[in-house]
Structure 1
Amino acid sequence: MPSLVVHYAFVGLLAATLLGAAFDRRSLLLSLVVVTVPDADAFIALVSQFGHRTATTNLVIPAIVAGVLAFDLYAREESYVRGRWGAYGVRVAWFCVVVYAVGHVLFDAVTGGANLLWPIHDEFYVVRGKLELSSQRGIVQTFVEWNGGNGANGGGGGGPSLRSIGNTSTVQMDTGVDPTPGKREPENVDRIFPVARGGWQLYLLVTGTLATVARFVVGYDLPEE
């Protein structure tokens, strides 16, 4: 599971490449705050089973925010966001929706699982698989598996099988805040707050941080000849 600082590095990399002229200290700080919000459920887990990677780590929240933002921008005669912050505010607002969904929720889904549709549907999903090119088998991928067999009318086919790892009654994810979810915490419990678990996380942490710093230093303007 990626640590919060790895999320920060990833969002910094996204901001440096996607925000364009809207990239500045204010937009970067706001996006870092937004990507922190999903981890609030680590504290909710102390008092509820709908805790880590559930209560705030889901796609329902950014979907609602996106709907409200779209209504304000495209359905109202005078948009509040556009009227107060202009094109800068519109771009940053949409970017923050992306940050919440892609920079944290879906990132968690590929690194251990997340309750993506809670509270509409209580189920943890994880993205696992491989994609490769074989000289004998051609393109091989296992991210989406198609269920064969006979359908209701005797035909073949089927649909994609989702990879579920359980729901909130069977899955409780530990954190440094709550290292023994659902159990009595021993006095000498070891609270682990990860920084980088694995070489790829360290690589992303360093690369994302350097790219963000470089964006501030270099910018997009070419030097004068």
Structure 2
Amino acid sequence: MPSTVVHVAFGALVATALLREFDAPSLAAVCGFAALPDLDTLLGIWIHGGHRAVLHTLLLPALLGALVYWDARREDSWLRRRFGERGFYVAGVGVLALLFGGILPDLMTNGVNAFYPLQDQFYTLDGKLHLSNQRGVVQTFVEFGRDGGETVGGTTENTHYYTGFDPTRGSEPENVERVFPVVSSGLQLVVVLTSLAAVVGRFREAKR
């Protein structure tokens, strides 16, 4: 599964692509949005099945996006008073980083409780898209089944995701191994390295 490092890398890519004024505070804010869902790794220790549910719900970016939009239309805007006019833009980019960098990579890797708490059901969106000279366009993202597509998992009652903080549901033996992943595949390493290159490039450009 993608680590927090990978989520932050996705967030940094969103920031380098969309931020108009690129500086360290704005980059940190956007990357913070991308890392936010992983906080439910800790919440899951106390909330039964809370990991990949409490802060991985698609309702979170929808709610935050609505709040940013609502605040932007207020005369006495908190974002405007606190961060100036650019606050709305950075917050909006942050919400996109939350969705595309924080939640969707997990939705496509082992799944998330996509509509928690309105619906307690884990979903995984996994599939493929091919162009065939015999079958034309072949895609499995919207099909149900183990060969691909949208697959449905369990609920918070019977689903537990391994983390270094909480390897197993319930108590663990004292000698349990706790693994905290950094990158889990070559593709994830490429994402992290590409993100670093993009951030360095934007900072160099900003100094000109």
Q: TM-score, normalised by structure 1?
A: 0.84
Aligned counterpart in structure 1 of residue 139 of structure 2, from 138, 141, 146: 141
1:73-112 mapped onto 2 (5 Å cutoff) = 73-74=72-73, 76-112=74-110
1:21-56 CA distances to partner (integer Å, 9 max, x unpaired)?
x22111011122222221111111112213211111
1:1-225 mapped onto 2 (5 Å cutoff) = 1-20=1-20, 22-74=21-73, 76-145=74-143, 162-180=150-168, 182-219=169-206
1:55-77 CA distances to partner (integer Å, 9 max, x unpaired)?
11211122111112212223x34
The letter for the 1-side match of 2:88 is V
Q: What secondary structure sits across from 1:127 in the alignment?
A: strand
| CA 1:136–1:84: 2 relative to 1, 3 Å | same
1:174-193 CA distances to partner (integer Å, 9 max, x unpaired)?
1010011x233011111000
CA contact (8 A) 2:112 2:123 kept: yes
| CA 1:29–1:106: 2 relative to 1, 3 Å | same
How far off is 1:84 after superposition? 4.5
The letter for the 2-side match of 1:197 is S
Q: What secondary structure sits across from 1:126 in the alignment?
A: strand
Aligned-pair identity (%)? 41
Structure 2: how far apart are the matches of 1:122 and 1:146?
A: 19
| CA 1:187–1:78: 2 relative to 1, 3 Å | closer
Structure 1 runs (4+) greater than 4 angstroms displaced: none
The letter for the 1-side match of 2:111 is G
Structure 2: how far apart are the matches of 1:183 and 1:78?
A: 47
The letter for the 2-side match of 1:26 is P
1:4-33 CA distances to partner (integer Å, 9 max, x unpaired)?
11111111111111112x221110111222
- Structure showing greater Rg: 1
Structure 2: how far apart are the matches of 1:146 and 1:196?
A: 29
| CA 1:146–1:195: 2 relative to 1, 3 Å | closer
Q: Which runs of 5+ in 1 are unaligned?
A: 148-160
| CA 1:85–1:47: 2 relative to 1, 3 Å | closer
How far off is 1:100 after superposition? 1.4
Instruction: Name the count of aligned residue pairs.
Output: 205
How far off is 1:78 after superposition? 4.3
CA contact (8 A) 1:44 1:50 kept: no
Structure 1: how far apart are the matches of 2:110 and 2:49?
A: 17
Cα RMSD (Å)? 2.0
CA contact (8 A) 1:124 1:164 kept: yes
CA contact (8 A) 1:52 1:173 kept: yes
